[in-house]
A and B are shown apart, each in its own frame.
Chain A
Amino acid sequence: MLLLEGFKNVLSQPVTLLLILIGDVAGLIFGAIPGLSAFTALAIMLPLTFAMQPVMGISFLMSVYVGGVSGGFISAILLGIPGTPSSIATCFDGHELAKRGEAYRAMGVALLFSFIGGIFSAVIMSTLAPLIGQVALRFSPYEYTTVILLALTTVSALAEGSMVKGLLSCLLGVSLSFVGIDRLSAYTRYTFGYSSLRSGFAIVPLLIGLFAVSQVLTNASKRNSTTIEEAEHQIVAQKKMRGFGISIKEFFSALKTSIPASIIGLVVGILPGIGGNIANLMAYTFAKKTSKTPEEFGHGTIHGIVAPESANNASVGGALIILLTLGIPGDNATSMIMAGFQIHGIAPGPLLFSSGNTLVYAIFAAFIIANIIMLVSAYFGLPLFSKILSLRTEILLPIVIAFCFVGSFSSNNRVFEIGVMVAFGILGFIMKRYKYPLAPMVVGFILAPMLEENLRRSLMRSKGSFEPFVTSPIAVTFLVITVAVLLFTVYSEFKKKD
């Protein structure tokens, strides 16, 4: 009933709906541009809300957040470049579909299941938030270590083709993550006396280089040998479609993939610091491993889009639960949301629900409405987005590269980041040419520092003993699942060989 009150609060002024629409669209655009993310969008839009009434300001911020997390699929599908880290897995099948002329369908599916993931987490959030907050508190470094170990096993599903190449790629990511000041003891590693390297490689320029720049380089090297007339022919004719591009039957079969993916997204989103970046990859892996037709993954199956897109939007709800119930921001984007809430007189934390502040329910309502408006507005945008693919590559790619430079620089206001992007672009180009998959490298790069940090923290606490890993029920559960996944992977690899 309080939720209805929240809806009344948000809907009482039509201007709020307009603001949500603007926020959604702005967020989508930021999310779609490689290097700019929900965080960048929020950082820029936050000051705009100062003059707004609390309900309007909050609704606007929520819509920017929802749009920003969703927008990543657009560039992932159209260009094979993840707009944000949380849409890496969307590239695998999304871009394959686009190459077959089914970009519209791929985007329709991505949009629809972003919406479903978002609504799923919204429902859980508005009913179970305080309870879930308490469970999250049970996670100490021991439990974190084991969750991250489990997440690392996703690599096995991302190793397209050769498992050895996949693992090598992952290890390269792990090694690169060690560059810079060690997060625990501030010891400088692998900087070779070069002081700019002390900050290590940042994820945003690394990702843009690896996926976007390498893609542009690959296209450019192909184009070199063709004439303009031939190039005109290379543009894939996009099939005309209506609705979301899938039948009712396909929808229900996709829903079966979407539900576990949303749960994974929600759970991973709840854990501060892990979030959407990993959720989309874990959900993709889960969908592939449990699929009856795993061989279709990576070659353009809609399930390969459904899983990551449901998961990354569900992780938003997870992150918001922790923010609202415990007052703890899990990542950059949520810390911006928290700043926004505080400006509008909402102090996220344990007292939020008991203080009788009805604005909490306005947040829930705004989150749900933002998801609905996102669905509708992006739906009308679909034909427009697919038009991008009819642009000739020599017009499209320079634009993409320009955005890459802007995105890399603005990620940390440093020219050095542009250099990092170019270097990883070349590395990505070489890796692609020799058929080393790129995603395992990103997984290694993101997870290795987290694993190191939590493992060292655990051992510092237990004075070097590994015992707590097997005495904590939560940790032991994750360990068992990790071992099971490993054994299963090894088994199926051997079976493939026979």
Chain B
Amino acid sequence: MKKAFIVMLALVLAMGIVSSSFAADKFPSKPIQIICPVKAGGDTDRNTRALAQAMSKVLGVPVVVANVDGGATVIGMEQVLESDPDGYTLIINGTDIFVPKMMGTTDVSLDSFKTVGIPLIDNTTVLVVHKDSGYKDLPDLVAKSAAEPDTIEYGGKIGATNQICGIAMNREWKAAMRFVDVGNNAAKVTALLGRQTNVINLSYSLALDYFKTGEFVALCLLGSEKNELIPDVKLASDYGLKNVDFSKFFWVGAHPNTPDEIIDILADAVEKASKDPEFLAYLKANFLTPATMLKKDAQDYAMKFYADTMDIYKEEFLAAQ
């Protein structure tokens, strides 16, 4: 009797193993949730929805976006770390992912997750002035700022990558712009339109109309490579200055204990999604650059990006808080 019981138990266990590996073969068999750690409505949210749609086509299950806002993206990331490591809860983030750890408010960062991939790069960050400001071009702005230190205002959001960008510009170009907190993207546009601030950095598509009317002038692209979709905006290196790269990668990650087979399936889906014609059309319409970096490659890219463009300004950034 006892023997029979043990055999049965073994059978049940075996079935359990079989069925769970069967489930892994069948991944995904239910809807996948992507946590977008910022509010709905901005460019990160828009990118997430475009990717979710393309991934859903590849995987054959709904891919749902859930916005979990708060704590400078940390709250959303923690929610994924607390979820089951089964690949059904993913996280997206961008260069902002590094900031909370830099500031010492959390240990959570990009390497707390397994990287699935980077399907796009937003190389559209431009340095913008109002046409009435009288700055002819980038060297003109740099020269005027160096001549009168702390008079030209660079408006952005304090405690975010745009503040690091300000530090980088001052150091690399020997400029002396004064950083002033203006707020989020919408507030930056308002401030520059109302001539309340002198210089801002902004994603090109957010002020397209103002570039068309000539009211806003894009002095340079804050990237390392030219964006062919915005041909008239030069790089800093075109003026003989060092490029200050504040392009933004768009990263997809999963719980660190997610099995590798599942990560493979997800990475494959991200790869296929990044080549989906509709997704590509979306990228083009928003001047974004397609990318297909997966798993380790994507993580290495992101970590190198952090080391080259952010970590070197860390001390000055923390001192300015």
Q: Is A bound to B?
A: yes
A positions within 8 Å CB-CB of B? 43, 136-140, 180-181, 184-188, 195-196, 198-200, 202, 272, 326-329, 332, 335-336, 338-339, 347, 349-352, 412-414, 453, 456-457, 460-461
B86 at the interface (CB under 8 A from A): no
13 contacts between A and B (CB under 8 A): A43-B40, A136-B190, A140-B194, A181-B105, A187-B321, A196-B75, A196-B78, A198-B71, A350-B213, A413-B68, A414-B68, A457-B180, A461-B153
Interface, chain B (partner A; CB < 8 A):
35, 39-42, 46, 66-72, 74-75, 78-79, 99-100, 103, 105-106, 153, 158-160, 180-183, 186-187, 189-191, 193-194, 196, 207-210, 212-213, 215, 321
Q: Which residues of B contact A453 (CB under 8 A)?
A: 183
Query: Cβ of B66: which chain A residues have Cβ within 8 Å of it?
Result: 413
CA of A137 to CA of B66, assembled, Å: 34
Other A-B pairs, 4, CB within 8 Å; known A187-B321, A196-B78, A460-B180? A137-B193, A186-B159, A188-B105, A327-B189
Chain B residues lying within 8 Å of A136, measured Cβ to Cβ, are 190
User: Are A272 and B158 in contact, with the CB atoms below 8 A?
Assistant: no
Return chain B residues, CB-CB under 8 Å to A186.
72, 99-100, 103, 105, 158-160, 321
A180 CB to closest chain B CB, in angstroms? 7
Q: Would you call A457 and B181 a contact (CB within 8 A)?
A: yes
Q: How far is the CA of A352 from the CA of B187 in the complex (A)?
A: 20
Residues of A within 8 A of B181 (CB): 184, 456-457, 460
Given known pairs A329-B41, A347-B209, A457-B181, the reply for A198 and B105 (CB within 8 Å) is yes
Task: Name the distance in Å between A458's Cβ and chain B's nearest Cβ.
Answer: 10
Give the most central of A187, A336, A350: most B CB within 10 Å. A350
B105 with A350: CB separation less than 8 A: no
Chain B's closest residue to A416 (CB) is B75
Task: For B71, give the chain A residue with the smallest CB separation.
Answer: A198
Residues of B within 8 A of A338 (CB): 41
Q: Provide the residues of chain B in CB contact with A414, threshold 8 Å.
A: 68, 75, 79
Taken together as a complex, chains A and B put the C-alpha atoms of A326 and B190 apart, in Å, by 8
How many angstroms from the CA of A338 to the CA of B209 in the assembled complex? 14
Contact A412 B69 (CB under 8 A): yes
Q: In chain A, what residue has the closest Cβ to B99?
A: A186
Within 8 Å CB of B46, what residues of A?
A: 339
CB-based contact B70/A412 at 8 Å: yes
Q: Hey, which chain B residues are within 8 Å of A138, CB to CB?
A: 194
Q: Is the CB of B78 within 8 A of A349?
A: no
Q: Which residues of A contact B103 (CB under 8 A)?
A: 186
Provide the residues of chain A in CB contact with B39, threshold 8 Å.
Answer: 332
Interchain CB contact under 8 A, A181 and B72:
yes
Given the known interface contacts A335-B42, A339-B41, the answer about A198 and B210 at a Cβ–Cβ threshold of 8 Å is no
A residues within 8 A CB of B321? 185-187
Q: Is the CB of A326 within 8 A of B182?
A: no
Number of contacts between A and B (CB, 8 Å)?
A: 111
The CA of A87 and the CA of B204, in the complex, are separated in Å by: 38
The CA-CA distance from A349 to B215 in the complex, in Å, is 12
A461 and B154 CA atoms in complex are apart in Å by: 11
Q: How far is the CB of B90 from chain A (nearest CB, A)?
A: 14
Which B residues are in CB contact (< 8 Å) with A336? 40-41
A461→B180 contact, CB < 8 A: yes
Complex contact A412–B180 (CB within 8 A): no
> Shortest beta-carbon distance, B154 to chain A, in Å?
12
Q: Which residue of chain B lies nearest to A137 when distances are taken between CB atoms in the complex?
A: B194
Q: Which 9 A-B pairs have CB atoms at the shortest separation, nearest pair first? A: A199-B70, A335-B41, A186-B159, A198-B71, A137-B194, A349-B209, A413-B66, A351-B209, A140-B196
In whole Å, how far is A416's beta carbon from the nearest beta carbon of chain B?
Answer: 8
Distance (Å) between the CB of B6 and the closest chain A CB? 40
Whether the pair B209, A412 counts as a contact (CB closer than 8 A) is: no
Specify which chain A residues have a CB less than 8 angstroms from the CB of B68 in the assembled complex. 412-414
Q: How far is the CA of A449 from the CA of B190 in the complex (A)?
A: 20
CB-CB under 8 A from A335, the residues of chain B are 40-42
Evaluate contact between A199 and B71: CB separation under 8 angstroms. Answer: yes
Report the Cα distance A350→B191, complex, angstroms: 15
How far is A32 from B46 in the complex, measured between Cα atoms in Å?
28
CB <8 Å contact, A332 and B196: no
- For the complex, what is the distance from the CA of A202 to the CA of B189, rounded to whole Å? 26
Residues of A within 8 A of B180 (CB): 457, 460-461
| Pairwise interchain contact A184-B158, C-beta atoms closer than 8 A | yes
- Shortest CB-to-CB span from B204 to chain A, Å, is 14
| Bound Cα distance A140, B68 (Å) | 30
Q: With A195-B78, A328-B190, A460-B180 in contact, do A200 and B70 touch (Cβ < 8 Å)? A: yes
Give CA–CA (A129, B189) in the complex, Å.
18
Cβ-closest chain B residue relative to A43: B40
By a CB distance below 8 angstroms, the chain B residues around A180 are: 70-71
In angstroms, Cα B160 to Cα A327, docked, is 23
Distance A180 CA – B71 CA, assembled complex (angstroms): 7
Q: Which residues of B contact A326 (CB under 8 A)?
A: 189-190, 193
Cα distance A332–B190 in the bound complex, in angstroms = 17
**Which chain B residues lie closer than 8 Å to A350 at the CB level?**
209-210, 213, 215
Task: Take A180-B70, A460-B180 as given contacts and tell me if A198 and B41 are in contact as well, using a CB distance cutoff of 8 Å.
Answer: no
Known: A43-B40, A181-B105. Contact between A140 and B191, CB under 8 A?
yes
CA distance A83 to B159 in the complex (A): 35
Residues of A within 8 A of B207 (CB): 327
Give the distance to chain B from A475, nearest Cβ to Cβ, in Å: 13
Least distance between A325 CB and chain B CB atoms (Å): 11
Question: How long is the Cα–Cα vector from A185 to B159 in the complex, in angstroms?
Answer: 5
Q: Closest B-chain residue to A142, C-beta based?
A: B196
In the bound complex, CA of A43 to CA of B45 (Å): 12
| Bound Cα distance from A196 to B153, whole angstroms | 36
A43 neighbours in B (Cβ, 8 Å): 40
Nearest CB in chain B: distance from A132 CB, A: 14
- With a cutoff of 8 Å between Cβ atoms, the chain B residues found around residue A332 in the complex are 39-41
Q: Collect the chain B residues with CB atoms within 8 Å of residue A195's CB.
A: 71, 74, 78, 106
In the bound complex, residues from chain A placing their C-beta under 8 Å from that of B70 are 180-181, 198-200, 202, 412
Q: In the bound complex, what is the Cα–Cα distance between A350 and B106 (angstroms)?
A: 41
Measured CB to CB, the nearest residue on chain A to B46 is A339
